[in-house]
Amino acid sequence: MRPEDDPGWAAYARTVLRFDLPGTPSVNLALPLSARELAVFRTAGLPGTFGLLTPENPRGRTATVEENDRRWASFRAGPAAGAVRVDGCDPGGGRCERGVALPWTLDAVRDLAIVWEQSAIYWYDGRMMWVVGALTSAAPWPLGGSR
């Protein structure tokens, strides 16, 4: 799969992460990570590297609400059970995809994303956030104004 095969590819760089924590803290991936964002990660139980993914909207194509609900329920009952809930939203908050953060290896998160037919994942390497292809053959690219 090529990046241009995913209609939302460019939007990855503008995503706002909303953590399922008291106060619903958010992290804007278009901006460099600061001490505040790193504190959100630690509060969520993510002090080191981790990946973010969703089971929704496979291959970047908008699925029906019913299909996304079914995929979410199946995903949460499987290997993502107990994972940290993190939704990826557009900057205005009008559109969000349910997702999780997993403190697994990059390969393990990417492999799970492939099973769920995802174009890419977000990867935090301990310093910055990246978009890393899963089904997509694109090279990893840094977020936070680093691209």
pLDDT given for residue 62 in this prediction: 92
Alpha-carbon distance of 84 to 19, in angstroms, equals 8
What are the pLDDT tens digits along the chain (147 aa)?
888 888 788 888 999 999 999 999 999 999 999 999 999 999 999 999 999 999 999 998 999 999 999 999 999 999 888 899 999 999 987 889 999 999 999 999 999 999 999 999 999 999 999 999 999 988 999 998 654
- One DSSP character per residue, 49-107 reads -EEEE-SSSGGGPPPPHHHHHHHHHHHHHTTTTTPEEEEEE-TTSS-EE--EEE-S-HH
Q: What is the pLDDT of residue 11?
A: 85
Specify the pLDDT at position 46. Answer: 95
Please report the pLDDT score of residue 146 as a whole number. Answer: 56
Inter-residue contact 14 to 82 (CB < 8 Å): no
Quickly tell me which residue has 């019913």 as its tokens.
Answer: 66
Contact by Cβ (8 Å): 26, 14: no
pLDDT of residue 83: 92
pLDDT (0 to 100) of residue 147: 43
Pair of tokens at residue 25: 């803290």
